[in-house]
Structure 1
Amino acid sequence: MDFGFIRGGGESSALIRSIDWNKNPLGPINQWPQSLRTTLSIVLNSKFPMFLFWGPDLICFYNDAYRLSLGNNGKHPQAMGQKGIETWPEIWDFIKPLIDQVLAGGEASWNEDHLLPIYRNGKIEDVYWTFSYSPAYDETDKPAGVFVTCTETTAKVSSLNSINESKNELEFALNAAELGTWDLDPLTNKFTANKRLKKWLGFEPDTEIDLNLALNAIIAKDRQRVSDAIAKALDFSLGGNYAIQYTIVNSKNGRERVVKAKGKALFNNEKIAYKLSGTLQDITEEVAAQAAFKESEENFRKLILQAPVGMIILKGEDFFVELVNDAYLKLTGKSKKNFADRPLWEAMPESKTLGFDTILKKVMRTGVAHHGNEQPLNLIRNGQKETIYINYVYEPLKDIDGSINRIMVVAVDITEILASKLKIKDAEERARLAAVAAGVGTFDLDLRNGDLKTSERFDEIFGFDRKVNRADFVNAIHADDHEIRLNAHRRALSSGQIFYDARVVWKDNSLHWIRIDGKIYYDADEKPLRMLGTVMDITHQRNAKEELLHINQRLEIALETGSLGSYELNINTRKITFSDQFFKNYGLLPNQNLSYDDVIDLIEPSFKEDVVSAINTAILNKSIYQAEYQIRWSDGSLHWIKESGKAKYNEQGNPITFISASFDITETKQLQQQKDDFIGIASHELKTPVTSIKAYAQVLERILTNKGDIKEAELMRKMDNQLNRLTSLIGDLLDVTKVNAGKLQYNHTHFDFNEMIRFVIEDLQRTTDSHEIIENLQEVGLAYTDKERVSQVVTNLITNAIKYSPDSKKIIVHTSVEEGNVIVCIEDFGIGIAQDKLNKVFEQFYRVSGSMQHTFPGLGLGLYISSEIIKREGGKIWVTSTEGQGSKFYFSIPLQLRNTY
Structure 2
Amino acid sequence: NYQALNEEYTSLNEDLESTVEALSASESMFRSMVEQSPVAIALCHTTDLIIDIVNDTMLEIWGKDSSIHGLRLAEAMPELVGQPFLDILKNVVITGEPFYALESKAYVFRKGERVEGYYNFICQPIKNNLGEVDSVLQVVTDITDQVVSRKEVQKTQEMMQMAIAAAKMGTWYVDPNTKEFHYSEVLADLFGYEGDVPMTYQQAASKVTEEYLPIIEGAIEAATHTSGNYDVIYTQRRFNDDELIWLRSFGKVSKDEVSGEVTFSGFVMDITEMKKDEQRKNDFIGIVSHELKTPLTSLNGYIQLLHRLALKENNTFSADALATAQRQVQKMTTMINGFLNVSRLESGKIMLDKTSFELNDLLQAMIEESTVIDKSHHVTYIGCADTLINADRDKISNVFSNLLSNAIKYSPNNPDILVKCETSSSDVIVSIEDHGLGISQADLPEIFKRYHRVAVNPTISGFGIGLYLSAEIIERHHGKIWVESSEGSGSIFYFSIPK
Instruction: Determine if the TM-score, normalized by the shorter chain, exceeds 0.5.
Output: yes
Query: Which whole-Å CA distance do the structure 1 matches of 2:195 and 2:56 have between them?
Result: 55
Is 2:476 the counterpart of 1:841? no
Check if 1:608 corresponds to 2:213: yes
Hey, what does 1:789 align to over in structure 2? Answer: 395
Distance 2:148 2:333 in 1: 64
In the aligned structure 1, how far is the partner of 2:54 from the partner of 2:430? 72
Give, in whole Å, the separation in 1 of the partners of 2:384 and 2:38: 70
CA gap of 1:836–1:761, structure 2 versus 1, over 3 A, is same
The residue identity in structure 2 corresponding to 1:503 is S
- 1:134: which partner in 2? none
- The 2-side partners of 1:656 and 1:515 are apart by 38
Cross-structure match for 1:729: 335
Whichever residue aligns with residue 546 of structure 1, its letter is: K
Q: Is the 8 A contact 1:575 1:595 kept in 2?
A: yes
Q: Deviation string for 1:303-354 (max 9, x for gaps)? A: xxxxxxxxxxxxxxxxxxxxxxxxxxxxxxxxxxxxxxxxxxxxxxxxxxxx
8 A contact 2:236–2:245 mirrored in 1: yes
Structure 1 residues 330-341: aligned runs within 5 Å? none
Task: Name the residue aligned to 2:20.
Answer: none
Q: CA RMSD in A?
A: 4.5
Aligned match for 1:641, one of 247, 260, 264: 247
Q: Which residue of 2 aligns with 1:199?
A: none
* SS, match of residue 475 in structure 2: helix
Q: Secondary structure at the match of 2:269?
A: strand
For the residue of structure 2 that corresponds to 1:692, the secondary structure is helix
Instruction: Give matches, 1:183-198, under 5 Å.
Output: none
1:851-878 per-position Cα deviation (integer Å, ceiling 9, x unaligned): 844x222333222221221121122333
Distance of 2:195 and 2:157 partners within structure 1? 20
Q: For 1:53-452, what aligned pairs fall within 5 Å after superposition?
A: 441=38
Q: Structure 2 counterpart of 1:543, which letter?
A: V
Aligned to 1:695: 301
Q: Residue 715 in 1 paired to residue 321 in 2?
A: yes
441 and 852 in structure 1: CA distance in 2 versus 1, 3 angstrom threshold:
farther
Q: Does the alignment pair 1:587 with 2:188?
A: no
The answer on whether the counterparts of 1:503 and 1:511 sit within 8 Å (CA) in structure 2 is no
Q: CA-to-partner distance for each residue in 1:31-87, whole Å, 9 max, x for gaps?
A: xxxxxxxxxxxxxxxxxxxxxxxxxxxxxxxxxxxxxxxxxxxxxxxxxxxxxxxxx
Match of 1:628 among 233, 242, 251: 233
Between the aligned partners of 1:779 and 1:515, the Cα distance in structure 2 is: 82
1:893 aligns with 2:494: no
2:14 equivalent in structure 1: none
Distance in 1 between the 2:493 and 2:317 partners?
Answer: 41
1:548 to 2:149 alignment: no
Post-superposition Cα deviations, 1:499-545, rounded to whole Å, max 9, x if no partner, equal x95437476485533579xxxxxxxxxxxxxxxxx996431231122
Residue aligning to 1:151 = none
Q: Supply the distance in 2 between the matched residues of 1:543 and 1:845 (Cα, whole angstroms).
A: 45
Q: Distance in 2 between matches of 1:578 and 1:791?
A: 49
2:406 to 777, 780, 800: 800
Aligned to 1:559: 164
Count residues with an aligned counterpart. Answer: 408
How big is the shift at 1:463? 7.2
The whole-number CA distance in structure 2 between the counterparts of 1:478 and 1:505 is 14
Alpha-carbon separation, structure 2, partners of 1:583 and 1:478: 53
Please report how far the alpha carbon of residue 725 of structure 1 lies from its aligned counterpart in structure 2 after TM superposition: 2.0
Q: 1:503 is matched with which residue: 88, 100, 104? A: 104
1:804-815 map, 5 Å = 804-815=410-421
Q: Deviation string for 1:431-461 (max 9, x for gaps)?
A: xxxxxxxxx94699xxxxxxxx999657756
Give the Cα–Cα distance (whole angstroms) in 1 for the partners of residues 108 and 290 of structure 2.
84
Matches within 5 A, 1:744-823: 744-775=350-381, 781-816=387-422, 820-823=426-429
Gaps of 5+ in 1: 1-439, 445-452, 483-488, 490-499, 517-533, 896-901
1:47: which partner in 2? none
CA distance in 1, matches of 2:228, 2:277: 30
Query: Shift in Å at residue 598 of structure 1?
Result: 4.1
Are the structure 2 counterparts of residues 809 and 596 from structure 1 closer, same or farther at C-alpha, using a change threshold of 3 Å?
farther
Distance in 2 (CA, whole Å) between partners of 1:664 and 1:478 is: 58
Aligned: 1:882 with 2:486: yes
Seen in structure 2, the aligned counterparts of structure 1 residues 723 and 662 have a Cα distance that, compared at 3 Å, is same
- Provide TM-score, normalisation by structure 2: 0.66
SS in 2 for 1:605: coil
Cα distance in 2 for residues equivalent to 1:775 and 1:744: 30
Residue in 2 aligned with 1:235?
none
2:273 matched residue in structure 1: 667
1:856 is paired with a residue of what secondary structure? Answer: coil
Identity over aligned residues, as a percent? 31
By how many angstroms is 1:607 displaced? Answer: 0.8
SS in 1 for 2:234: strand
Q: Which amino acid aligns with 2:439?
A: I
Q: How has the CA–CA distance of structure 1 residues 577 and 442 changed in structure 2, closer, same or farther, with 3 Å as cutoff?
A: farther
Equivalent position amino acid for 1:607 in 2: Y
Gaps of 5+ in 2: 1-36, 42-52, 74-83, 92-97, 122-138
> Does 1:860 find its partner at 2:464?
yes
1:734 partner letter? L
Query: Which amino acid is 1:862 matched to?
Result: G
2:211 partner SS: helix
Equivalent residues of 1:815, 1:822 under 8 A apart: yes
Mapped to 1, the partners of 2:175 and 2:490 lie a distance apart of: 44
Counterparts of 2:87 and 2:117, CA distance in 1: 9
Q: Residue 681 of structure 1 aligns with which residue?
A: 287
8 Å contact kept, 1:584–1:590: no
Contact 1:690 1:723 in 2 (8 A): yes
CA 1:856 to 1:776, structure 2 compared with 1: closer, same or farther past 3 Å?
same
For residue 44 of structure 1, what is the aligned residue in structure 2?
Answer: none
Amino acid at match of 1:611: I
| Cα distance in 2 between the residues matched to 1:710 and 1:776 | 33
Determine if contact 2:106/2:119 at 8 Å carries over to the other structure. no
Higher relative contact order (CA 8 A, sep 6+): 2
Q: Distance in 2 between matches of 1:723 and 1:704?
A: 18
Alpha-carbon distance, 1:640 to partner: 1.3
How far apart, in 2, do the equivalents of 1:656 and 1:867 lie? 34
- Partner amino acid for 1:894? P
For 2:54 and 2:201, the matched residues in 1 are separated by: 52
Distance 1:505 1:559, change over 3 A: closer
Question: How far, CA to CA, are the matches of 1:692 and 1:710 in structure 2?
Answer: 23
Counterparts of 1:751 and 1:740, CA distance in 2: 28
Cα drift, residue 638 of structure 1 = 0.9
CA positional deviation for 1:606 = 0.8
TM-score (norm 1): 0.39
One-letter amino acid of the counterpart of residue 164, structure 2: L
Contact 1:583 1:591 in 2 (8 A): no
CA contact (8 A) 1:567 1:576 kept: yes
Go from structure 1 to structure 2 and tell me whether the alpha carbon gap of 1:589 and 1:800 turns closer, same or farther (over 3 Å shift): farther
CA distance in 2, matches of 1:870, 1:463: 70
Letter in 1 for 2:292: L
